[in-house]
């Protein structure tokens, strides 16, 4: 005797595949940040920081040329009371202008690299060379220029208490600095930027 197949229940709703919730617990931690299975280590982060500091140094050399022009275009004399009086000729004025332009170029490059480039793509030049990327903890995507700028300001807290905030990634589970924790960002290994 064989068993006949049982007919499906009539009033059952259709079943759909379950989708894991984006925020499975009460603390708002994401279930999974794509690309954040492994976080960038401290050595990678320091390497990227040093590269970001070295890449724009030629712009400071422009200011060095300005200093040389200023020195060449100035001379000291003494007045009747024996006080030194500095005289600057046209070459010295050009030197002052070159010094200012060199520093402005350095600052503009740093803002472009750290705020705009990193904010939009997750990569500063140093991070791209090292192969790491700044992303939002909850989205896994670049954080945008505004948040990247505030993160740079928040690094002030990393410097408090003997710069322990910069060392925090050595033992933190997500390898975050204090600034990363405040802005909910992480640095992850990434060879190519993800498209939003």
How many distinct structural domains can be found in the chain? 1
35 within a domain of the structure (yes/no): no
pLDDT value at residue 184: 94
Sign of the C-alpha dihedral, residues 130, 113, 152, 36? Answer: negative
The CA distance from 72 to 57, in Å, is 23
Looking at the predicted structure, is the pLDDT value of residue 106 above 60?
Answer: yes
* Mean pLDDT, rounded, for 41-66: 92
Q: Output the furthest CA–CA distance in the chain (Å, rounded).
A: 129
- Confirm if 117 and 39 have CB atoms less than 8 A apart: no
Whether this model's pTM surpasses 0.85: no
Looking at the predicted structure, is the pLDDT value of residue 31 above 50?
Answer: no
Please report which confidence band the pLDDT of residue 25 belongs to, taking 50, 70 and 90 as the band edges: very low
Sign of the C-alpha dihedral, residues 145, 55, 100, 105? Answer: negative
- Confirm if 155 and 134 have CB atoms less than 8 A apart: no
Percent of the chain with pLDDT over 70: 74
The CA distance from 35 to 39, in Å, is 9
* Mean pLDDT, rounded, for 27-43: 60
Q: Which of 143, 150, 129, 149 is nearest to 186 (CA)?
A: 143
14 within a domain of the structure (yes/no): no
21 within a domain of the structure (yes/no): no
- List the structure tokens of 55: 């890449």
Range of the domain at 100: 42-189
11 within a domain of the structure (yes/no): no
31 within a domain of the structure (yes/no): no
145 within a domain of the structure (yes/no): yes
Residue 160 DSSP code: H
126 within a domain of the structure (yes/no): yes
Please report which confidence band the pLDDT of residue 42 belongs to, taking 50, 70 and 90 as the band edges: very high
The CA distance from 69 to 103, in Å, is 15
Q: What is the pLDDT of residues 119-170, one digit of tens each?
A: 999 999 999 999 999 999 999 999 999 999 999 999 999 998 889 999 999 9
């Amino acid at each position: 005797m064989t068993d006949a197949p049982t007919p499906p229940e009539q009033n059952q709703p259709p079943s759909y595949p379950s989708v894991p919730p984006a925020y499975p617990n009460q603390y708002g931690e994401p279930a999974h940040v794509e690309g954040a299975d492994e976080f960038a280590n401290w050595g990678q982060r320091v390497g990227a920081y040093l590269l970001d500091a070295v890449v724009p140094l030629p712009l400071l050399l422009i200011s060095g040329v300005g200093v040389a022009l200023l020195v060449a275009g100035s001379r000291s004399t003494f007045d009747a009371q024996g006080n030194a009086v500095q005289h600057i000729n046209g070459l010295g004025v050009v030197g002052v202008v070159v010094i200012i332009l060199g520093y402005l170029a350095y600052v503009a490059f740093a803002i472009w690299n750290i705020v705009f480039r990193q904010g939009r793509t997750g990569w500063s030049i140093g991070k791209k060379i090292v192969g790491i990327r700044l992303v939002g903890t909850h989205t896994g995507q670049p954080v945008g220029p505004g948040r990247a700028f505030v993160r740079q300001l928040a690094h002030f807290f990393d410097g408090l208490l003997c710069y322990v905030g910069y060392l925090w990634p050595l033992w933190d589970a997500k390898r975050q600095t204090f600034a990363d924790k405040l802005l909910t960002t992480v640095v992850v290994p990434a060879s190519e930027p993800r498209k939003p």
